[in-house]
Amino acid sequence: MDALQEHTINFSGLSDGEHEFRFQLEQDFFDAAGEDDLEGGSLSVNVSLDKSPTLIVVNLHMTGPVALRCDRCNGPLELPVDGKQRQIFRFTTDEEYDDDELVGLDPSEHSINLTHYFYECLRLALPTRHVHTPGKCDPEVEQVLSKLIVENEPHPDPRWEILNELKTSSANGEKHKRP
Ligand SMILES: [Zn+2]
């Protein structure tokens, strides 16, 4: 997603050590995410930034409700989010620097933007399946779903079919034989 300007932390003026920041993610964040399933929400993010001459360690803690659609009935659904994530930035001139845990940061940089990490933290905090608690789905959809389940009931046990076949053939006075 595109970086939002208000999520930029200018660290060049900060002393070494820990600093606290607070962000509020509202509709503009969810619009910028451009994900159909994320309709909105209101998330508070506490950011602790630990600066040292070689590293910047950022710890995110995100809490608040997110508005989605239920995977089962497609009705509106609000899920509470409580997510934590750590991101470490390392000062390096190596442009190819790539590591799952560490992100390379040019020593001439003055700021970092956190929009992408907020988004990542949110995605990881959300369950893969978003559904209402049992019995809370849209009752109309629930009715249609229960009908579908009845119509799609599996065929009866095949052993019963064989038994039925045997009964019919003996009723017809035929000898039981297999083709
Ligand atoms: Zn539902």
Query: What is the pTM assigned to this prediction?
Result: 0.77
Task: Kindly give the distance from the C-alpha atom of residue 133 to the centroid of ligand 1, in angstroms, as a whole number.
Answer: 8
Task: Kindly give the distance from the C-alpha atom of residue 136 to the centroid of ligand 1, in angstroms, as a whole number.
Answer: 6
**How does pLDDT run across 20-63, given as a tens digit for each residue?**
999 999 999 999 888 888 999 999 999 999 999 999 999 999 99
Task: Kindly give the distance from the C-alpha atom of residue 139 to the centroid of ligand 1, in angstroms, as a whole number.
Answer: 9
Q: Please name each of the domains of the chain with its CATH number.
A: 5-125 (3.30.450), 139-171 (no CATH)
Task: Kindly give the distance from the C-alpha atom of residue 77 to the centroid of ligand 1, in angstroms, as a whole number.
Answer: 7
Q: What is the 3-state secondary structure (H, E, C) of the chain?
A: CCCCHHHEEECCCCCCEEEEEEEEECHHHHHHHCCCCCCEECEEEEEEEEECCCEEEEEEEEEEEEEEECCCCCCEEEEEEEEEEEEEEEECCCCCCCCCCEEEECCCCCEEECHHHHHHHHHHHCCCCCCCCCCCCCHHHHHHHHHHHHHCCCCCCHHHHHHHHHHHHHHCCCCCCCC
**How does pLDDT run across 135-177, given as a tens digit for each residue?**
899 998 888 888 887 766 666 666 667 767 777 676 665 555 5
Task: Kindly give the distance from the C-alpha atom of residue 105 to the centroid of ligand 1, in angstroms, as a whole number.
Answer: 44
